[in-house]
Structure 1
Amino acid sequence: MSGPMSGEVGAPADPIARCYRHPTRETGVRCVRCDRPICPDCMRPASVGFQCPDDVRLGQVDRARPRTAVGARIGSGAPIVTWSIVGINVLVYLASAIGSPGGLNNPTQSRLFTDWQLFPYAVHQNHQYWRLLTSAFLHVSLLHIAVNMLALWIIGPYLERLLGPARYLGLYLLSALGGSVAVYLFGAQLQGVAGASGAIFGLFAAALIFVRELGLDPRSLIMTLVLNFIFTFAVADISRLGHIGGFLTGAAAAFAIGGLPKHRGKLANNTQAALLLLLLAVLILAVAWRTATFPTLID
């Protein structure tokens, strides 16, 4: 017994623990996961100590839940992030159109568009770094947003199911930022840039890297990419730097998530997160360097 011996003066004994499932049974053993007291009938052997039946059951459910090649849990399959990104782009386009004399056909004259577009000189001069990301949610015409959102609607759900919502959102935002950083580093100072194309190209780069895991036809995907790059360089008024920057950043993010093909699925979640944060740090340092060395003469 744990109480003081007869004749001793001391603090009263601690209440005796009782099994959380069988309150009439005293016990001195606790579950190593939830710390609840458990009696011999409720003890389930663990690698260290004992677990309660509830935690054993929860652990079995977690282990039984299937995962993708990059470690994401397989859920309901509804591409919530893709739908949300499309919805945000559409809402931003409508908001821009409402404030622009050109309406839906030309939303570029609105205050929202002016304040959100990527304008390298404004980023440097006024430290408006939000433009590097907000510009990825703007579009200059109905055709522009229709083409980008159609591409996102086609390729996005495949990647979202493979990567999971968090990794997929990280890939999208990093690709968008990478495209903008390329424009800020190498683009003209007084040329405005807008559009989700950098992010879309990043998704296509990731799809190319994960083509086997996605179950896509590599020939069709490569042909689509080739046609998009031909279109990028053949048509005027398209941000080539944004497309290339988004593509390269998306490829880097995909390797950070999935590793090299021979090591696919072997990167731990913490390692993936660390590599993605490292990629973000590289982009931030590139922006800081460009700001510090921004030329005084306007291109």
Structure 2
Amino acid sequence: MNQEEDEARQSSLPGCYRHPEVRTGISCARCERPICPQCMVSASVGFQCPECVRSGSGTGHAPAANRPRTVAGGVLATGDPQLITKVLIGINLAVFLVQQVVGDRFTDALYLLASWPVQGFDGVQGVAEGQWYRLVTSMFLHGSYIHIGFNMLSLWWLGGPLEAALGRARYLALYFVSGLAGGALTYLLAAQNQPSLGASGAIFGLFGAMAVLMRRMKYDMRPVIGLLVVNLIFTFSWSGIAWQAHVGGLVAGVLVGIGMMHAPAERRGPAQWGSCAAVLAVSLALVLIRTAQLT
């Protein structure tokens, strides 16, 4: 019975575009044509077919359409493949250093806060009072060495593969959209005087997108799912963690990841950036709803 099921599954797979008699579950990372082991050429992410490898191996004078592209359709960047990840880590570390040097007055001015509930006291204001920048600045603040250590290790582990798979622009969009979505959900659901800070919303967005990427490439998903489960257990078992940011970032990362990885090739750009715009629109709606409640 198991053998029959396996034969049925194999027969349902497409044939290699060069060897139709060979069934395969692997597709070219650029053109998405099915390719068999004989035709696979290892690339930075996944495999490419011989034609795509030849079209991207010229002297640099080929049309833009023939330039090597990532699995998500982004132009394959030259130079450091982890440049944006390193820049993000550097910014987070630099901001944390300023926090240690300047102290609470710097952190208090930038962390995420819905509204200060004491009437007539102008010392602290939040997003509801017009300080919308806190939704962005709070993404680069951290509360302790352990806090920033875990987040930056996760960013380093997840960021490199995703930056290579998405391309720099799409990867950066995923990071910020996930972080903003996490901040928006925190603003909506957390107590109005509860401060929130950290890159966790963006990091959980990377987790979500990584799961989508691994499924798209037919890789073993158990490592990333196991790590995600462990992080979710910590999220809901430890006090003082803004679970709203984690959940909001994770959902945003999955949605943007689906839009990035599964966009039809013929309208890939509009579908990918449209998914980012849709998540941002929902995040903005959450912010407006909460602001209306508090003002």
TM-score normalized by the length of structure 2: 0.72
Q: Note closer, same or farther for the CA distance 1:97–1:219 as it changes in structure 2 (3 Å cut).
A: same
Partner of 1:60: 62
| Alpha-carbon contact 1:258-1:265 (below 8 Å) kept | no
1:292 aligned partner: 292
**Residue 63 of structure 1: CA displacement?**
3.8
What does residue 22 of structure 2 align with? none
- Are residues 154 and 124 of structure 1, via their aligned partners in 2, closer, same or farther at CA, if it must alter by over 3 Å? closer
Residues 255, 275 of structure 2: 8 Å contact kept: no
Partner of 2:11: none
Q: Which runs of 5+ in 1 are unaligned?
A: 1-56, 101-109
Does structure 2 retain, via aligned residues, the 8 Å contact 1:70–1:265? no
Letter in 2 for 1:120: A
Q: Deviations over 1:48-81 (max 9, x none)?
A: xxxxxxxxx9763534322122111222352111
Which piece of structure 1 moves more, 166-175 or 231-240?
A: 231-240
1:270 maps to 270
2:72 counterpart letter in structure 1: V
CA distance in 1, matches of 2:293, 2:148: 34
Counterpart position of 2:121: none
- 1:137 counterpart residue number: 140
Q: 2:21 — aligned with what?
A: none
Structure 2: state its 5+ residue gaps.
1-58, 116-124
The Cα of 1:191 is off from its aligned counterpart by 0.8
Structure 1 stretch 246-255 or stretch 172-181: which is displaced more? 246-255
Distance of aligned partners of 1:152 and 1:124 in 2 relative to their CA distance in 1, 3 Å threshold: closer
Cα contact 2:256–2:272 (8 A) shared by 1 = no
Give % identity. Answer: 37
Larger Rg: 1
2:206 to 182, 192, 203: 203
- 1:269-289 per-residue CA deviation (whole Å, 9 max, x = no partner) reads 133223312321221122112
**C-alpha contact 1:162 1:214 (8 A) present in aligned 2:** no
Q: Equivalent residue for 1:71? A: 73
Instruction: Name the aligned partner's letter for residue 195 of structure 1.
Output: G
The letter of the residue matching 2:235 is: T
Distance in 1, matches of 2:61 and 2:73, equals: 17
Match of 2:238 in 1: 235
- Give the Cα–Cα distance (whole angstroms) in 2 for the partners of residues 239 and 268 of structure 1: 34
Q: What is the SS of the residue equivalent to 2:210?
A: helix
SS in structure 1 of the partner of residue 126 of structure 2: helix
Equivalent positions of 1:53-202 (< 5 A) are: 60-76=62-78, 78-100=81-103, 110-121=104-115, 122-202=125-205
Cα separation, partners in 2 of 1:113 and 1:69, compared to 1, 3 Å: same
1:256 corresponding residue in structure 2: 259
Contact 1:258 1:267 (8 Å CA) reproduced: no
Report the residue type matching 1:233 in the other structure.
F
User: Separation in 2 of the partners of 1:204 and 1:223?
Assistant: 11
Give 1:134's aligned amino acid: T
C-alpha separation in 2, matches of 1:214 and 1:272: 18
Is contact 1:86–1:149 with CA below 8 Å preserved after alignment? yes
Given that 2:216 and 2:261 are in contact with CA atoms closer than 8 Å, whether structure 1 keeps it comes out as: no
2:259/2:275 contact within 8 Å kept: yes
Distance (Å, rounded) in 2 between the aligned partners of 1:267 and 1:162: 18
Could you say if the C-alpha distance between residues 267 and 203 of structure 1 is closer, same or farther in structure 2, counting changes exceeding 3 Å?
farther
Q: Cα distance 1:186–1:84, how it changes in 2: closer, same or farther (>3 A)?
A: same
Q: Which amino acid is the alignment partner of residue 126 of structure 1?
A: E
Assess, with a 3 A threshold, how the Cα gap between structure 1 residues 216 and 81 changes in structure 2: closer, same or farther. Answer: farther
**Equivalent position amino acid for 2:247 in 1:** I
Letter in 2 for 1:241: Q
> How many pairs were matched up?
227
Distance 2:150 2:70 in 1: 29
What CA distance in whole angstroms lies between the structure 2 residues aligned with 1:154 and 1:214?
Answer: 18
